[in-house]
Structure formats: structure tokens, C-alpha cells
Amino acid sequence: MKFILLAALVCGQTLTNGAQAQSDKEIKEALSALQALPKKVPTPADNPQSVVKVELGKALYFDPRLSKDGTISCNSCHNVMSGGDDGRPVGVGIMGQRGGRGSPTVWNSAFNTVQFWDGRAATLEDQAKGPLTNPIEMGMESHDAVMARVKKIPGYGEMFKKAFPKDKEPVSIDNLARAIASFERTLVTPDSAFDLYKNGNKKALSPAAIRGMVLVHQVGCTSCHGGGNFNGEGFKMGEGNYQPFPQVPGSGYDKQYDLLSDKGRYEVTKKDEDKNLWRVPTWRNVALTAPYFHNGKVKTLDEAVRVMAKTQLDMELKDDQVSDVVAFLNSLTGKLPTIVAPKLPQLANESLTPEP
């Protein structure tokens, strides 16, 4: 990690001149280091996409009957009609219970090489099973209890059969997770202003966004937030880009925003060297997903940028630099697909919510 700090110090020299117009060379260099959103979504060989599977996954994703008291669905915390999150500091599950971390966006989560702030799930399939039985989130006693619920809803039986035609017992927790993951692989947001610019439309970015793009490249933000999803470059699926946060200890921010109590990756591995390591989150659509950081303590993108510059690169950005970076981050808001809430299959007895 030292090399990043060094890069920041060296570049810091040239940056003291403030927000000057960038030279063509600087723009070219930054642009060639950054990537557009890949056209192809990574998909595991044992779970190929199909229209019927995605449709099933979408229904399950929107179905609150998969929670203990029938009130919470995946979409409650990851609203795909907006930023793919819930706009809250931390997730709120059944009976108003609060978790300890913020809900990350599901937009483009298909490009994450690991899932969760601490990377504890390797795939979307693994991830999808967690919230169902998390006592704070959807609160079901067991995966068997979830499947018993699903089996009470005849429409689902048909949908599972169509989605997994070769399976003897298509209605299973693994297939439920596969279907949800397949739906999530459709939640991608291409054609942000940055992507259009990268692909040749020189009018797509404002001068401020271009200055911000050059700055994040020069100071080293993108050494962590690199690659097509701006959360790490060159990592394979199942392999996480874990970085310390805060990397530079002792800034007032540690206390102000309570950055040290949750130990991040350490909570999974219990290895000392993993204390306060976090998976690098995406910058795509970050303008839509306030509040920020694992604990949702930072309310605005401006402040998140200041905190990052100080805690990760030991730099203080000037106000015009912060607004340039924010202009660039805004240019990473993609085209959100229009999602219409599905009509859910009904229970046999026509009652919409099962007994808790």
C-alpha cells in the first residue's frame, strides 16, 4: 500500500496549483487507465441466464412473503426503482430492526468479485441465501422454512419447473438463490456519461468532470477504485480487493464517523492483519446511494470524497478539487433499466400474507 501514498505525495506537488485546465496528455493518460462498464456480465457456467429464470428471480426478489412477518423483501433494502439501496445509514429489517451496516447498491453487483462490505460471500448465489435467515433482515428460522413457504404458493412450483427443467426437485433453496442471482445479473447500468466519453463521445463529460477524472487518476484514488466497476482491477471472481480504511490513522475522521469499531474483514477471518480491511466499493451510481461508507455515517458525497482523500491518501483537497471529483463521480450514474414490480403468484387460499 506504501506505493499509493508515495504516488499521492509526488502528485500532490503538481496538484497544489489547483483546478487548472488539464493538458490533452493528462486527459489521455487518465482515460486510458480507466475502463467503461464491460458489455458482458460475468455468469457462472452452472447458472446460465434464461428469461424464465430471471422472471422467477425477479418475483422472489420482490416477494415479502419470504420474510418471517411477511413485510420485507430484498427490494425493501435494495430498491431497484431507485439507487438499488435504501437511502438509509443501515439496513432496516423485520419489526423495524436495524443492522450495523449500510445496504450496498445491487446495481452492477454482478461485476463485484466478492459480495458484502467484508467479502464474506464469493458469489451472488451464496449471497442471496444470507438475508433470508438473518434474524435482523428477513428473519426466517431456516432455509427449509423458506422453501415450505414457497411450496405453499402454487404459482412458484410452475415457475421453478420452467426455470430448472432438468432438475428432479426444482423447488430448492439453491435454485431459489440461482434465480435471484440471475435476476441480479440483469441489474446493470451501462451508458453513463463517462462510458459515453470513454467510447468516443467527447461532449459527454463537462470540463469539471474531466478535471475530476484526471485528478482521481493522478492522486491514486483509482489504484483502489479501478476497473470497469471502479472497485478494483484485475481481480478474479471470488477474489476480493480488500484495503485498509482508514489507511492513514489519526485523522479526526476516525472518531467523528466512528470508522474503527467495526473491524470489517477481520469479522470474517479473525486474522489480525484483516482488521479494518474493507472490500473497495463501486463508484458507479454512487451519486444515488448516500449515505456513505460501511456504517452510513457520512451524509454527502462531498464529505465522503474529503474523508477518502485524508484517510486513504493523506491529502487535503481544496473545495474546487472536491467539486471536480464529485462531478466525475456524478458522471458514473448509468442508465437505470426501467423495472416494473412483478405480479406475484398467489397462495392457494388467496390470502396474500402467510401467518408469521
* Shortest reach from residue 121's CB to ligand HEC, in Å: 7
Which of 116, 194 has the CB closer to ligand HEC?
Answer: 116
Nearest to 302 by CA among 287, 282, 283, 284: 287
Which of 107, 350 has the CB closer to ligand HEC?
Answer: 107
- Which positions touch ligand HEC (CB under 6 A)? 4, 61, 72, 74, 76-78, 91-93, 99, 101-104, 106, 109, 112, 115-118, 124, 127-128, 131-132, 137-138, 180, 216, 219-221, 223-225, 243, 245, 247, 278, 280-281, 286, 289, 292-294, 304-305, 308-309, 312-313, 325
* Shortest reach from residue 199's CB to ligand HEC, in Å: 23
Which of 138, 210 has the CB closer to ligand HEC?
Answer: 138
* Shortest reach from residue 124's CB to ligand HEC, in Å: 6
Nearest to 185 by CA among 61, 101, 280, 278: 61
* Shortest reach from residue 200's CB to ligand HEC, in Å: 25
Q: Could you give the C-alpha distances from 67 to 188, 272, 307, in angstroms and in order?
A: 26, 35, 36
Which of 49, 247 has the CB closer to ligand HEC?
Answer: 247
Contacts with 6 (C-beta within 8 Å, 6 or more apart), sequence order: none
Which of 38, 165 has the CB closer to ligand HEC?
Answer: 38
* Shortest reach from residue 156's CB to ligand HEC, in Å: 15
Contacts with 53 (C-beta within 8 Å, 6 or more apart), sequence order: 163, 164, 178, 179, 182
Give the burial class of 12: count Cβ atoms within 10 A of its Cβ; 0-12 exposed, 13-18 middle, 19 or more buried. Answer: middle
* Shortest reach from residue 141's CB to ligand HEC, in Å: 15
Which of 22, 112 has the CB closer to ligand HEC?
Answer: 112
Nearest to 290 by CA among 279, 300, 305: 300
* Shortest reach from residue 319's CB to ligand HEC, in Å: 14
Q: Could you give the C-alpha distances from 162 to 47, 99, 193, 348, in angstroms and in order?
A: 14, 36, 39, 19
- Give the angle 298-301-304 at the CA atoms, nearest 5°: 50
Which of 164, 243 has the CB closer to ligand HEC?
Answer: 243
Question: Contact at 8 Å (CB) between 114 and 278?
Answer: no
